[in-house]
Amino acid sequence: MYRNPIEGHPPMSYRSLAILFLFCVATTQANDYLPSKWWPSKWGADDERGALNHLTPAKTLAAAALINTGVIYDMGRVFEEEMPLFSLTPKERKFTLSVPGAPSWGPLGENKLLWNEDYVSGHLTQDGTQFDALSHMGTDLGPGGDLNKIRYYNGHTHAEIGSGRGFSKLGIEKVTPIFTRGILVDIAALRGRTLHCGEEISADDLKVALIRQGLPENVIEAGDALFYHTGWGEYWKVDNDKFNGCAPGLSDSAGDWVVKQQVLLVGTDNWSVEAIPGPDPKIFAPNHQKFLVENGIYIIENLDFAPLIEAKVYEFAFVVGTIPLKGATGSPVRPFAIR
């Protein structure tokens, strides 16, 4: 059992250990594991949109053509205090909504009108159903401590764009509204069960599952939103420690295959697009690195696929918009599918 190095705290999950891992690897050279130069982007040295460049008016019109019933499927989870929360120490784990005054103002006027307002605090951009900006992940190419050696998508350095008040480039406000085709791959159905902690999903698994669902294995096109269902959502608010403790996800080679499909984004029902813990203890979150940092492919985590799975809807128009928090590394979202 891993122990939290902070005295008095309980054992840490793999999710919390991941943060400590990043601090540790930042102080060491591991050239054999570092990616080769990934910049400039194929969309130009000034690009901040990444795979959003695949989203053309023609792509959106093609997605809209999939709508023939008008049924909307909610893919987001409710933000509430009881949801799994991501932070390094238990004392930091909080999500709070308060209504000051309750009611907050009034009554005013002869019509006695009153109203309420909210204050919300918490780790909003990385808890619940959330969308990762391209500034969320970077790679330290130096010995550690040199902000000029930490690089993000398109080679931007932390010294150039990062600060304690947010990012001057690659912030979530650069993510414009998305309306594209969504493809859901039900890996839990392929396995006949919820995937296990650290269980990997191969590219062949994705292809076989697509065929099982009545779709060709080459159905994925540039600009699509690719989703995969692991069943991990069954632990949401039921066993938050297990939900946060580890995760099934795409293998490293499956991540490479996804990149070749030129998708706009990847989404799943847990907090990681790779298996945690992974097969190589020296490598952490390789798919986050190759998606966000190297290829500008966005990530949505903690999705709810239950409505789509129940209706057996695997191809659909997908819609999501982020909150344009200037310089933020992510955003809470409420994505939905239409068929």
Q: What is the pLDDT of residue 94?
A: 82
Q: Residue 37 and residue 294: Cα distance in Å, rounded?
A: 9
Q: What is the pLDDT of residue 123?
A: 83
User: Cβ(274)–Cβ(286) under 8 Å?
Assistant: yes
Q: What is the pLDDT of residue 129?
A: 98
Domain boundaries, the chain: 31-84+125-338, 90-122
User: Cβ(103)–Cβ(114) under 8 Å?
Assistant: yes
Look up the CATH architecture of domain 31-84+125-338. 3-Layer(bba) Sandwich (3.50)
User: Cβ(35)–Cβ(294) under 8 Å?
Assistant: yes
Q: What is the pLDDT of residue 244?
A: 93
Residue 338 β-bridge partners: 72, 317
Q: Give one DSSP letter per residue of 39-78, joined into a string.
A: -SBTTBTT---GGGGG--HHHHHHHHTT-SS--EEE-PPP
Q: What is the pLDDT of residue 106?
A: 93
pLDDT along the chain (339 residues), means of 10: 34 54 47 88 98 99 99 98 78 83 94 95 91 98 92 98 98 99 99 99 99 98 99 98 96 98 99 97 96 99 98 99 98 99
DSSP β-ladder status, 150-151 and 139-140: antiparallel
